[in-house]
Amino acid sequence: MKVIYDSEVDVLKIVFNELKIDESDEGKPGVIFDYAKDGTIVSMEILDASKMTAPSAFQYEVTGKKRAV
């Protein structure tokens, strides 16, 4: 997973995997989900991120058991 904040365009993007994006959908105003052909969520973008989040001060945490792949 990657978390990318682009301050020039004020977009926060969370990339869950590297699958090819087949479709995008704006779930709520300013929140865009990108999907692979099979419906898997590839990434999520938050537009005007500095107004909706605090992208420069975030914490990353992984909880739960590690899955075998």
What pLDDT, on a 0 to 100 scale, did the predictor assign at position 48? Answer: 93
**pLDDT value, residue 59:** 63
Give the number of C-alpha atoms closer than 13 A to the C-alpha of residue 52, restricted to the C-beta side.
14
What residue has token string 């973008």?
45
According to the model, what pLDDT value does residue 28 have? 92
Residue-level pLDDT at 25: 97
At 46, list the tokens. 């938050």
Distance between CA atoms of residues 24 and 62, nearest Å? 26
pTM to 2 decimals? 0.77
pLDDT of 27: 86
Q: pLDDT at position 3, please? A: 87
Which parts of the chain sit beneath pLDDT 50? Answer: none
pLDDT on residue 66: 63
